Amino acid sequence: MPSPAPDPAVEPTSGADVTQVTGERVFSTAVRTALGALAAPAADPRATDVFLAPDGTVWSDRGAGAERVPGVRLEPAAARELAVGLINAGGRHVDEATPCTDVRLGEGMRVHVALPPISWAGTAVSVRLPRVQRVTLSASGVDDATIVALSEALLERRTVLFTGATGSGKTTLLAAWLSEADPADRIVIIEDVAEAPLAHPHVVALECRQPNMEGAGGVDLAQLVREALRMRPDRLVVGECRGAEIREFLAALNTGHRGGAGTLHANSLADVAARLEAVGMIAGLSPEALARQALSGIDLVVHLERDRDGSRRASLGRFSLDARERLAVVAVP
């Protein structure tokens, strides 16, 4: 199924890859062409995610869960062509040797592709869309107590760990929080695939690099954290803590780099300590060593949950040590 031709009536007037016109998402010719059959649902300002399922159907989440887009179904060859084109448009590659890949398009659009045989039923594409309008801390949808706690953390240069499940709003809230930092602060943010929409005048954004076809040239999060420390960051941010980078990040937090942030996947506030401990083990940190570094390096935990109606709830916590000298989280009223 060929990709739909770009509609000249909605072409952006600037060179940006994603712009806002009358409240809708408008894409550049290159991005719109790469999106193909996904372009129309992705342009809906209410959409947070658009999916191409392995059976060729297209789905969109507009705040109330994924719903099928009627009248659209791609044949297997067309689905694979669309997936490969999206990854190529972001400067990476996906093929049988590398069947799963993430890529960034424009300002904050994140695309993940899984090809057969990994996605054995057919090509799967997941597109995470940036908000049409930037979210401020006051308009983030969290309760007043969380806003007050985050505002105080910003002024007092406390380090914050944002946690929650996929799609709970961790990155959005992190970006809203950091966007209100002092304009004189130099923010260095490190992500696997760049997507945090910071509205701040001094941001250095670093993104991991995929190895080339020969397996060389890759740059991972842990290396980028080490590079970031040479850039004199006032606020160091790790977009997602999930592996060896947690060792470098916690070491930085314990050597004077305060006021930064990170995100971590966790199902509940009570699960954060165990989840962080598991990530620390990947990085070679014993539970005891991780507990002491996290306790002294991270001042506030903000856990987010998303309800089926799209609303979000936040709960606050801080790290402590349990009777076994292991990491625990205490809820903050």
Residue 296 covered by a domain:
yes
Q: Domain range for residue 53?
A: 8-128
**Within a domain: residue 221?**
yes
Nearest to 208 by CA among 222, 192, 195: 192
* Domain end call among 104, 128, 152: 128
pLDDT at residue 23, as a whole number: 57
Could you tell me if 197 and 112 lie in one domain? Answer: no
156 lies in some domain: yes
Q: How many domains are there within the chain?
A: 2
The reply to whether 119 and 185 lie within a common domain is no
pLDDT value of residue 167: 80
Alpha-carbon span 69 to 90, nearest angstrom: 25
162 and 83 belong to one structural domain: no
Residues 159 and 305 in one domain: yes
278 and 192 in one domain?
yes
Mean pLDDT in each 10-residue stretch from start to end of the chain (333 residues)?
36 36 72 92 91 96 88 95 94 89 84 94 93 77 92 96 90 92 95 80 87 77 90 92 89 91 94 95 93 95 85 92 92 88
Q: Is 124 exposed, middle or buried (0-12, 13-18, 19+ CB in 10 A)?
A: buried
112 and 60, same structural domain? yes
Domain identity same for 46 and 159? no
Residue 137 included in any domain: no
